Amino acid sequence: MKYLKISNWGYSAQRIFIICAFSIIPLALLFTFAYLPVINMFKYSFTDWNGYSKRFDYVGFENYSRIFSDPEYFKVFIVSLYYFVATFVQMGLALYFATILSFKIRGKNFFKGILFFPYLLNGVAIGFIFLFFFKPDGTLDTLMQAVGLGQYTQLWLGNPNIINVSLAGASVWRYMGFNFIIFLGAISSIQKDVYEASDIDGANRWQQFRHIILPSITRILQLNLILAISGAISAFDIPYIMTDGSNGSETFVIQTVHLAFKYGKLGLASAMAVVLLFIVILVTLVQRVTMKGEE
């Protein structure tokens, strides 16, 4: 019984015990819900598992060779380009609003709230909101007619040349708030006296932005860029909910989901997920290396 009392242990033993006790639960959760599925995914990617069977065969690299030998599977990355371009619009807007709202402005908190709000909404809800928004004679068309732009209305989701722009637009609306809040945080960490000093020197707002704000948040800008690019490559929720990848809006992840759950090719889909994982890692590494080179 004596040894069950922790207070009787030595200081370092207590320390080790407490560290272990506190980290074992988060570690167990992390392992169960993050690492174990990934390990299984690697395993499945070498099999022909259909998602149900208790049996499956190992097929070696067959799934991988199939992905890389059939251009059909990679064609969908063209759709990602739309989201990639939208990323810059998204970050530009976020930076613009973050800068403006970091100065003294009336109703500042109200606007901060409005800009961040879309990010808090559930993705499914956003999908449905934008379905109504883009419908023929829906919100967007009505709005355009009201301001006299009626002749420019389109089948926003029906026209295959526009559909990805519409969807990327919805995606910008949704994720801009996230970029915005991070930029805002970074900007507000800049010392106030730097501004004061520049005011005395007669700098205007643009000069303050160009020479004080921008250099101070380069790190955060890079981080957001990495997040946004890997987000563009793995774009999923908005097009999946709104169009299910039809009419030319299929992204790589939607294609993976379809292969796994429509055609029962869990093995092939896992291999695609592994490939995507490596692409994202690669993009991140390339970015880190090039960004480092600049300094």
Binding residues for other proteins, per CB under 8 A? 4-7, 21, 24-25, 28, 32, 50-54, 131, 134-136, 138, 155, 157-160, 163, 243-244, 246-248, 258-259, 261-265
Smallest distance from other proteins to CB 121, Å: 20
Smallest distance from other proteins to CB 213, Å: 42
* Pick 83 or 156: Cβ nearer other proteins: 156
Give the tokens for residue 161.
């040349």
Distance in angstroms (rounded) separating the CA atoms of residues 163 and 104: 39
Smallest distance from other proteins to CB 67, Å: 13
Smallest distance from other proteins to CB 118, Å: 21
Sequence length of the chain is 295
* Pick 153 or 216: Cβ nearer other proteins: 153
Please work out, in degrees rounded to the nearest 5, the angle formed at the alpha carbon of residue 50 by the alpha carbons of 46 and 54: 90
* Pick 119 or 248: Cβ nearer other proteins: 248
Smallest distance from other proteins to CB 280, Å: 25
For 87-90, which contacts have Cβ atoms below 8 Å and span 24 or more sequence positions?
87/225, 87/228, 87/229, 87/231, 87/232, 89/172, 90/171, 90/172, 90/175, 90/176, 90/179, 90/228
C-alpha atoms less than 13 angstroms from C-alpha of 248 in its C-beta half-sphere = 13
* Pick 189 or 246: Cβ nearer other proteins: 246
* Pick 136 or 185: Cβ nearer other proteins: 136
Smallest distance from other proteins to CB 232, Å: 22
* Residue (of 239, 255, 249, 228) closest to 74 by Cα position: 255
**237 close to 194: Cβ distance less than 8 angstroms:** no
* Pick 54 or 104: Cβ nearer other proteins: 54
Smallest distance from other proteins to CB 163, Å: 8
* Residue (of 284, 90, 82) closest to 182 by Cα position: 90
Please work out, in degrees rounded to the nearest 5, the angle formed at the alpha carbon of residue 13 by the alpha carbons of 8 and 16: 135
* Pick 51 or 118: Cβ nearer other proteins: 51
Distance in angstroms (rounded) separating the CA atoms of residues 156 and 165: 9
**DSSP per position, 251-283:** -HHHHHHHHHHTS--HHHHHHHHHHHHHHHHHH
Distance in angstroms (rounded) separating the CA atoms of residues 66 and 59: 12
